[in-house]
Amino acid sequence: MSRLVAVSNRISIPKRGAAPGGLAVGLLTAIQARRGLWFGWDGETSEVAGSEPSIVRKDDVTYASIDFDKAEYYDFYLGFCNGTLWPLFHYFVDGFRYKDVQYEAYQRMNHRYAKHLAPLLEPDDIIWVHDYHLFPLAQRLREAGATQPMGLFLHIPFPNIEVLRVLPVYGELLQAMLAYDVLGFQTETDVQAFRSAVAYVWGEEALNADSSVTLGGRRVVTGVFPIGVDVDAIQREAVESQNTDACKRMVAGLLGRKLMIGVDRLDYSKGLVERFKAYEKFLETHPENQNRVSFLQIAPLSRTDVRAYSEIRRDLEQTTGRTNGRFADTDWTPIRYLNRNFPHDVLMGFMRSAQVGIVTPVRDGMNLVAKEFVAAQDPSDPGVLVLSTLAGAARELTGAIMVNPYDARGMAHAIQQAFNMPIAERRERHQAMNDVMRRNSITAWHTSFIETLESVVEPPKDFRLRFG
């Protein structure tokens, strides 16, 4: 069995007492099965980046991590990755910024990733690269002489060509992506967006009927590999965490009221401001729910060095203050808004205690929170998921109440419908979504991608240039 080498911008080394999230668990399971290597940034910054990666071996996994110097952190990570690619790929053209110096840092960092990773590779490795931070990595590894099969999985949406070509270097990034052997996306919409970009640049003749792309004599497989969750593991976590102090205190604080819960990173793609306004509209248009329903929004701080994130935090605090000021009573706070994180098992317990889960991003590649909410529910008395049609998860979780995250009135109506849905309908919707999630589990995700990558038998050609 070939060794699996997973590469991501950020790696997660398990720590005692800390439970990793669903994606980390899925990746670690795949890597452990093959006694593999996980390579990436350790999350640390320093004045001068280290000259060699730090190596840690734990539970049949080798972790190789590098740090960033401060310039790399600002120009590569905050700059091109999160100030250019992230907003553009989520269709936030107004928030998109491009600077040559940041793109140069992006290329330099991918060169550095490749330079540190190449000596650690073994001839029969298969290499699985993750996300938009590392589009050029395969190209750089090919230049270093690597001939192993390489696949890229994009966790975020891939934009339509009419949006993508706002980026001055979009052609270079597309060319870099075609140095991989397999390109995986969350949804068929993303695959078609990528193929339309290839056709725009190189013509329809580059597209094959089997969804692959052929360019310069090389065939690149594209496919849909939706990320899932481990339904049984989440169910166990949710049940067991009901007895934790955190869950007991949260439920006790409701004083018998019904609960709607949202769990999101503090990010403008999550539609939090629109969600808070919709909840205010819900209390306004359905006043019978006042003092009978509470909304718990957990939103850990994210990328606090980026101005846009400071602005969304300010907007949420203002909206929360206005709603609570309008509707609060001496024993009731309509919105509980928390800028902190909780252990994964506690979050699952919170979700199990909620009658409504609200997941309303204005654009999202998949959104595992939606799946975790469904998996955490009591099948005999499940809660209802309110889900944005603009989340990738909407393609699978068709038993949710679908909403347009920009439609406050429609969302308010959906929340009312969710709280008043009959139990028979709730059970039917929940069962249908659970069945889909069991088919498209986290195990099915990594197994199908790796099997596709292993099916690549011909090593890539024409990428034999060496580092200077």
Q: Where in the chain is the domain with CATH 3.40.50.2000?
A: 4-228+444-454, 231-438
> In sequence order, what are the residues at sequence separation of 6 or more whose Cβ sits closer than 8 angstroms to the Cβ of residue 247?
241, 346, 349, 350, 353
Distance CA(135)–CA(131), nearest Å, equals 7
Q: Give the position of tokens 């998109």.
A: 96
> What is the β-pairing status of strands 61-69 and 54-58?
antiparallel
307-325 b/e (C-beta count within 10 Å ≥ 16 → b): ebbeebbeebeebbeebbe
Distance CA(291)–CA(281), nearest Å, equals 15
pLDDT of residue 59: 86
pLDDT of residue 29: 84
Ranges in the chain, pLDDT < 50: 17-19, 460, 463-468
pLDDT of residue 311: 86
Establish how many alpha carbons lie within 13 A of residue 276's alpha carbon, considering only the half-sphere containing its beta carbon: 27
Q: One-letter amino acid identity for 334? A: P
pLDDT of residue 307: 64
pLDDT of residue 465: 37
User: Has domain 231-438 been given CATH number 3.40.50.2000?
Assistant: yes
* Tokens describing residue 424: 């028979």
11-36 b/e (C-beta count within 10 Å ≥ 16 → b): bbbeeeeeeeebbbbbbbebbeebeb
5: nearest Cα among 25, 34, 29: 34
> In sequence order, what are the residues at sequence separation of 6 or more whose Cβ sits closer than 8 angstroms to the Cβ of residue 391?
359, 361, 364, 366, 367, 370
Q: What's the distance, Cα to Cα, between the start and end of the chain in Å?
A: 33
User: Has domain 4-228+444-454 been given CATH number 3.40.50.2000?
Assistant: yes
pLDDT of residue 468: 30
Q: Quote the Cα angle for 151-396-276, to 5°.
A: 105
The residue from 230, 364, 430, 446 that is catalytic is: 364
3-state secondary structure the chain: CCCEEEEEEECCCCCCCCCCCHHHHHHHHHHHHCCCEEEEEEEEEECCCCCCCEEEEECCEEEEEEEEEHHHHHHHHHHHHHHHHHHHHCCCHHHCCCCHHHHHHHHHHHHHHHHHHHHHCCCCCEEEEECHHHCCHHHHHHHCCCCCCEEEECCCCCCCHHHHCCCCCHHHHHHHHCCCCEEEECCHHHHHHHHHHHHHHHCHHHECCCCCEEECCEEEEEEECCCCCCHHHHHHHHHHHHHCHHHHHHHHHHCCCEEEEEECCCCHHHCHHHHHHHHHHHHHHCHHHCCCEEEEEECCCCCCCCHHHHHHHHHHHHHHHHHHHHHCECCECCEEEECCCCCHHHHHHHHHCCCEEEECCCCECCCHHHHHHHHHCCCCCCCEEEEECCEHHHHCCCCCEEECCCCHHHHHHHHHHHHCCCHHHHHHHHHHHHHHHHHCCHHHHHHHHHHHHHCCCCCCCCCCCCCC
The residue from 133, 155, 430, 446 that is catalytic is: 155
User: Is 155 part of the annotated catalytic residue set?
Assistant: yes
Q: Which pTM was predicted?
A: 0.93
pLDDT of residue 304: 58
pLDDT of residue 180: 98
Distance CA(264)–CA(360), nearest Å, equals 10
pLDDT of residue 88: 98
